[in-house]
Amino acid sequence: MEGEIMKINANGVLTIPSRFRKSGFEINHYVNISLEEDGSLKVTPIEAIPRNQLGFHTKTWLKKEEMASRDLHSGKAKTYKNKETFLNTLKKW
């Protein structure tokens, strides 16, 4: 794909042309920028949160994490010495 000449502004901001953004560079997503040996910049789109971890970043999950953390810090949570004791407690539950 042929390149385009762009201007870097005073803050170092460079606009990625729309025809390149359609190739995986989306609004509010992250990119990795690396300086190549020949002096060129390589811009690669990356996932800030890997797809297989997205379920742990839903509002519902984060709220449950917050509740669990609050319980732990307030003394409402119970800890176990080992996994066997924990599993035996679950069986009785």
| Domains, the chain | 1-48 (2.10.260.10), 51-92 (no CATH)
**For residue 51, pLDDT beyond 80:** no
Residue environment code for 57-79, b if the CB has 16+ CB neighbours within 10 A, otherwise e: eeeeeeeeeeeeeeeeeeeeeee
Q: Are 29 and 45 in contact (CB under 8 A)?
A: yes
Give residue-wise pLDDT tens across range 68-87: 999 988 988 888 899 999 99
Overall pTM > 0.75 = no
pLDDT class of 34 with cuts at 50, 70, 90: very high
Mean pLDDT of 26-48: 87
